[in-house]
Structure 1
Amino acid sequence: MRHRGRHRRRRRGRAVRAFLAGTALALTAAATMISASQATVTDDGPGPLKPLAASGTQRTALTEELVPQADLDRLAAGMGKPVGVGAVLAGADRALRNADGCSTAERADLPVSPAATRAYCWNADDTEGWQAGAVTTSGDADDDGVWGTNRVILSGWSRSGGTADDRGLARVAFVDANDLDRLSYTWVLLAVPVDGGRDYRGLASHVSGMVWYQDKLLVTADDGDSSALYVYDMNRVQRADVTGEAVGRVTGGWSAHGYRFVLPAVGSYRLDGASDSPRPTTVSLDRSTAPDSLVAGEWTLDGGDRSARLWRYPFSTADGHEGLLATGTDGRVRASEAYETKLTGVRGVLSYEGEWYVSRAAGARERHGVLWRQTTEGAEAAECGTAESHDCWSGHTESLSYWAETGEVWTQSGRMLFATPLGSVDGSAR
C-alpha cells in the first residue's frame, strides 16, 4: 500500500525536542585526545555567501526523464510483486555496534566539536572494500519522522575495491532505527532498468548525495553519467531470488550481487550538458521552505582556486508528481536560488531557516574537517584545541541530513554513523 506523507508544516526552532535522556555518549575523552592533533593555523573562514544572478541558476537546470510505466510493470511481472520498506526491515539481519563497542581508531572519525550525541560503527567485515557515502532518514521522508510505523535510516555505500565487474556498485543499508540503542539493518542494491524492463544493471556511482522525500529516493550520479540524479520509488523494492555475484537476470531468476533485495530506478534528472553546468554531488532536504526544497552543492578540491556553487530545487506539489522535483512545461527543473562559497574542499551541504551549513573535507595531512555556518553576511564555525582551530568536524562526511522531529543532524564518516543536534552546531559556532 502506498504511504503518503502528511507533510504537516511545523515551524521548528533549533532547540532539541524529544531528546532522550542518557544519550550523552562517552566520546568526549576520545575527542579531546584527537584535538591535540588539529592544525595550528586558524583562518578567517570563507566569508559570506555570494548570491548568483538568474543567469547563474540557469546553468543548474535539469531535465526530468521517467522510466516508462510499461517497463516498470514488465520488470515487476518478471520479478514478482514489489515490497515496501517494512518488508525490508523485517529481514534486517545485521547489527551496528554502539559507540562504546567501537575501537579508538573508529571513534577518531567523530567530530571534536560539536560532539556526537549518538554514534555507531559498521562492522569491518561488512564494509571492507566499500566506501561510506550519504545518509538520509524517515525524518526526510515525512515530517513526523516515521515511515508507516517505522523510524528508518538509509546509509549509502559504493564499491571501491573488488573486480572490474563490480567496482562502483551502489548499495543502501536500510536501518531499523525504532530502538536507537539497537540498530539493525540489511542491504539493498541500487539498480537501473534496461532492455525495456526485461533486465537491470547495477547503478555504478559513489553515493555522495541521497534524499528520501515522500515515497521517492533521489541519489546522485558520478561524473561521466549523463544523469545528475537517479530516482527510486520506495514502494518498488524487489526481491532477488538467486544468490550470486551477478547483477540482473540470470539462469533461474534474478541476482543482486548476493543481496536479497534490489531497488530499480523509476527515473532520472539529466544535466543540460553545458560545460560549466555544476553537478550536484551532495544533496539534502530543506523543510523550512515553501514548498520543501532539495539543496544541492558541488564538490571542490581542497585549496583549489574555484568557488563552489550551492543551490536549491523546489519539490513538486502537483498531484501525481509526489516526491519529484517541480518541472516547467518543458519538463525542465530550475533552481530557485543559487550562491557561491569561497570554501574549498566542499563536501556536505545543508540549509535550514535561511542558514547554510557547509562541510570542508580534511586535507591530506589533517584528521578533521570544518563545518561552517554561512549566510550572505558571513561565516562561523566551532573552535577547538589550544590554537582555537576550526578543524573540529569529522574529516570525511559527504552529506548532512537534518531530522527535524528530533533536531539532529545525521551523517557518517569512515565506519562511524553519528548524529549531533543542530542546536549544538549553532551553539559551538564562533
Structure 2
Amino acid sequence: MKHRGRHRRRRRGAALRAVLAGTALALTAAATVISTSQAGVAENPGALTPLTSPADTGRLRLQEHLVPARSLDRLAAAMGRPVGVDAVLRGADRRLREGDDCSSDDRASLPVAPAAARAYCWDPADTGGDWRPASVTTSGDASDDGTWGTHRVVLAGWTHSTTAGRPGERGLAKVAFVNADDPARLAYRWALLVVPVDGGRDYRGLASGVSGMVWHGNKLLVTTTAGGADALYVYDLDRIQRTTVDGPGIGRVPGGWSADGHGYVLPAVASYRFAAGRCSPAATPCPGALALDRGTAPDSLVAAEWTEPDGDRPARLWRYAFGTDPARPGPLATDGAGRVNAVEAYRTRAAGIRGVLSYRKAGADRPSWYVGRLPGTRDGHGGLWRQDTGRTRAVHCGADASDRCWARDAGSLSYWRQTGEVWSLSDRMLFTLPLADLDGSLD
C-alpha cells in the first residue's frame, strides 16, 4: 500500500509538471502579444540607490503602540482560554486542490517563467466571492527548523473587496491557516483579524488590506492600508480566540462572540505607526509588501513601498531589525521611547511592487532584492526583478524578450530557507518554486 501511494503521488507530480509546462508554453505566446501591445509597461528599473540622509531615513521611523495586557486578558476572560495554531489546524475544514485538478483559468494565473514546482487552487467557495489572496508567510519564517510544533504551516492573508458583498464585511482581512505537512493534501481553516476595543470588552474587524505579512516567532505582522498613520499591526499566534456565534456580526453579540461566520479571531496585540504621520506619495511611504530576512543579525523585516504601477514615481525598499526578547508584545527592536528606526534603505525605479525579498547568496558581499511587480495596466501577468546597488536582472519570456512573466496579480514572496523554496500567490492559486530556479531564470 505504501508503494502504491508513492506511485500515485509520483504520477500526480508528473501530471502537474506536464500541466504547468503546457500552461507556461501557452502563456509565453500570450506574453508576446501582451508586451507587443503594451511596450514599455515594465521598463528596466536600474540599480538600487542607497538612502542615507536623515531626511530620507527619518520618514521611515515607526512608533510602537502596545495593546494593554489588561485589555487582552479581559477579552480572553470573556471569550475563553486562547488557543494556538495547532487547534486551528485540527479543525481544518477546506482543501486545496493540486494543480492538475484545478481549472484552466486557475492555472493561467501561474508564472509563465520560471514555472511553479507545485501549485494549489483554493476551495471554490472561497474564490467565487469578493475575497482575494494577497500575502503569504510560512513556518519557515517563524522558526529555525521550519516547523511550528510538529507541523509545516503556510499562512495566507486575504482581503475583502471594499465595493461589493455585505456592508459589514467590506474591507475586512482574514488569514488561512494551511496544514502543509503532506504536499499532496493541503487543508486550511480561517481566522478573522480583529482589533480589541473598549478596553478588551469587545473587538472590531481590521478594515484593511493585508498585502504584506510576516510570521516571526509567535508574532504575525501585517501591513495596514486603512488610510491613517498605522503601518503595521501585530498579532500573537498564542492568543487565537474561538468564536461562539456563527453569524454576520463582528464582536460581542447576543449569545456570545461572532466574527462574520469565522470560527476563530486573532486580536491585535500591538501596532506601529509612522512617526511622521500618515503615508503620502511625497513623504512617508505606504508599505505594500513585507518579507523576513534571516540572513542578517538580528533577523530583519524588509518592506517595499506601494506605488501605482502606471506611475513613474520611484519606490523605496527598507528594513527594520527584530528585537531579541521574544517576551515583548512588540517584535521590532525599539529605543527607550518605543521608536523603530530603519537600518537600511534604498530607492528603486520599480513601480507597483507587490512582493519583496532580500537574500544574500553564499559568498556574496551584499544581499539581492527581489521585487515582484504588477503590470502597468494593473491587469494580467506582472514582472519579477532582482536588484542590488550594482545591477538589475529580470525574468524574460516570449520571442520579444517580454518581462511580464510572473504570476497574474501576484502577491507577496516568502523564502522557506530550510527547503530553498519561494512561496507566492496569484489571484487564484498558491504556488512554490525553488529559489535556485528563480535565480537561474534571472541569470
Shorter-chain TM-score range: over 0.9
Match of 2:289 among 282, 286, 300: 282
In 2, Cα distance between the equivalents of 1:193 and 1:322? 15
In 2, Cα distance between the equivalents of 1:256 and 1:170? 11
Q: Which residue of 1 aligns with 2:352?
A: 345
In 1, Cα distance between the equivalents of 2:346 and 2:376? 24
In 1, Cα distance between the equivalents of 2:325 and 2:189? 33
Closer, same or farther in 2 for the Cα pair 1:287/1:198, shift >3 Å? Answer: same
Alignment pair present for 1:410 and 2:410: no
Alignment pair present for 1:50 and 2:57: no
Match of 2:30 among 6, 16, 37: 37
Q: Tell me the alpha carbon deviations over residues 299-329 of structure 1, each in whole angstroms, 9 at most, x when there is no partner.
A: 1112312100000000001363277000011
Q: Which amino acid aligns with 1:361?
A: L
Q: Tell me the alpha carbon deviations over residues 253-275 of structure 1, each in whole angstroms, 9 at most, x when there is no partner.
A: 10011011111001100122345
Higher helix share: 2
Match of 1:332 among 339, 349, 363: 339
SS of residue in 1 equivalent to 2:385: strand
Q: Which residue of 2 aligns with 1:197?
A: 200
Q: Quick check: 1:145–1:403 contact (8 Å CA) kept in 2? A: yes
Q: Which residue of 1 aligns with 2:267?
A: 264
Q: TM-score normalized by structure 1?
A: 0.92
Q: Quick check: 2:285–2:306 contact (8 Å CA) kept in 1? A: no
In 2, Cα distance between the equivalents of 1:235 and 1:204? 22
Q: Quick check: 1:37–1:367 contact (8 Å CA) kept in 2? A: no
Alignment pair present for 1:88 and 2:88: yes
Q: Quick check: 1:282–1:349 contact (8 Å CA) kept in 2? A: yes
SS of residue in 1 equivalent to 2:203: strand
Q: Quick check: 2:383–2:403 contact (8 Å CA) kept in 1? A: yes
Q: Tell me the alpha carbon deviations over residues 227-261 of structure 1, each in whole angstroms, 9 at most, x when there is no partner.
A: 11000000000000111010000111100110111
Unaligned runs of 5+ in 1: 1-19
Match of 2:243 among 233, 237, 240: 240
Q: Which residue of 1 aligns with 2:377?
A: 364
Identity in percent: 57
Match of 2:308 among 295, 301, 314: 301
In 1, Cα distance between the equivalents of 2:166 and 2:182? 37
Q: Which amino acid aligns with 1:82?
A: P
Q: Which residue of 2 aligns with 1:138?
A: 139
Q: Quick check: 2:207–2:226 contact (8 Å CA) kept in 1? A: no
In 2, Cα distance between the equivalents of 1:148 and 1:53? 41
Q: Quick check: 1:48–1:378 contact (8 Å CA) kept in 2? A: yes
In 1, Cα distance between the equivalents of 2:156 and 2:337? 34
Q: Tell me the alpha carbon deviations over residues 196-224 of structure 1, each in whole angstroms, 9 at most, x when there is no partner.
A: 00000000111101101000000110141
Q: Which amino acid aligns with 2:194?
A: A
SS of residue in 1 equivalent to 2:165: coil
Q: Tell me the alpha carbon deviations over residues 361-387 of structure 1, each in whole angstroms, 9 at most, x when there is no partner.
A: 023286311110000011101111111
Match of 2:395 among 382, 398, 412: 382
In 1, Cα distance between the equivalents of 2:312 and 2:404? 20
Closer, same or farther in 2 for the Cα pair 1:365/1:156, shift >3 Å? Answer: closer
Closer, same or farther in 2 for the Cα pair 1:365/1:57, shift >3 Å? Answer: closer
CA RMSD of aligned residues (A): 1.7
Unaligned runs of 5+ in 2: 1-8, 361-366
In 2, Cα distance between the equivalents of 1:225 and 1:135? 24
